[in-house]
């Protein structure tokens, strides 16, 4: 990219304190953007019949990252499973930094068991609240508080297996809903100069893969390696850049050929 034109822009990255989210924050900061690093203050206790699939980095990790990023970046918390949280989060970021130029809906909920034999109303609701409903409402609020006709770009983080995710039904179908929202909102918002796209990562090592899982994942990726968080972050920055100014409604698979 010659000039992605992201210097000085306000970027909100949900779930930004660790893993792929942290890499996305660093990638935007490297372009001179001011980043609001969203985090969940602490995990609620897992339901009696479920376990969290990943540990969520909390306030310490988010604040440390924001200090590292500089350029006026800051950490901000919200529980995106709560109905009012998207509005309150966008308002808080806008009050502190000004209108959001780039919204990255990266925060996700993933719990196990999540197969067809263990689905419950509660597990489905928990997945959909964070993975589909919150990104939609965050987008609505970012558009509502947009300043005039200044460019606004939304990048949703899906998964390359959203079309069929055996063993993770609630997670996979909620991400498929996010991709559907990407396309529908892109059409609704295109006349207003707002772009909405998604990135669908393949298997990415963020610390959750042990040696056996890593070997299995590597074997099924045609390019011969699992992804790194930076692989996803670079794609997100591209979709937010000036170079992608005529791209909207797309789901960009970043997966080394996995799940084509």
End-to-end CA distance of the chain: 27
- The CA distance from 111 to 247, in Å, is 33
Residue 205's CB is within 10 A of a number of other CB atoms, namely 16
171 is catalytic: yes
Rg (CA), the chain: 17
| Set 39, 128, 171, 238: catalytic member | 171
Give the C-alpha separation, 30 to 236, whole Å. 13
DSSP states of 147-166 as a string?
-TT--EEEEEE--TTTT--T
CA 207 from chain centre, in angstroms, equals 18
Would you say 64 and 21 are in contact if contact means Cβ atoms under 8 Å apart?
no
Cβ(14)–Cβ(35) below 8 Å: no
Per the listing, tokens 């998604």 go with: 198
Active-site residue set: 171
């Amino acid at each position: 990219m010659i000039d992605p034109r992201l210097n000085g822009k306000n970027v909100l990255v949900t779930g930004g304190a660790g893993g792929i989210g942290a890499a996305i924050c660093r990638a935007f900061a490297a372009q001179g953007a001011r980043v609001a690093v969203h985090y969940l203050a602490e995990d609620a206790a897992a339901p009696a019949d479920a376990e969290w699939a990943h540990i969520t980095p909390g306030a310490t990790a988010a604040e440390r990252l924001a200090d590292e990023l500089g350029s006026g970046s800051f950490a901000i918390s919200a529980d995106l499973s709560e109905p009012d949280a998207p509005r309150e989060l966008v308002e808080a970021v806008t009050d502190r930094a000004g209108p959001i130029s780039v919204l990255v809906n990266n925060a996700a909920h993933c719990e196990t068991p999540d197969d067809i034999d263990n689905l419950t109303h509660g597990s489905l609701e928990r997945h959909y609240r964070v993975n589909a409903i919150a990104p939609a409402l965050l987008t609505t609020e970012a558009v509502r508080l947009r300043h005039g006709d200044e460019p606004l770009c939304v990048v949703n983080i899906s998964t390359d297996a959203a079309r069929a995710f055996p063993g993770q039904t609630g997670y996979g179908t909620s991400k498929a809903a996010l991709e559907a929202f990407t396309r529908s909102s892109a059409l609704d918002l295109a006349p207003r100069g707002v772009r909405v796209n998604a990135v669908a990562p393949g298997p990415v090592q963020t610390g959750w893969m042990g040696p056996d899982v890593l070997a299995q994942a590597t074997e099924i990726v045609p390019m011969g390696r699992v992804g790194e968080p930076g692989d996803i972050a670079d794609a997100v920055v591209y979709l937010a850049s000036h170079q992608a100014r005529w791209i909207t409604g797309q789901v960009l698979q970043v997966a080394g050929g996995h799940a084509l």
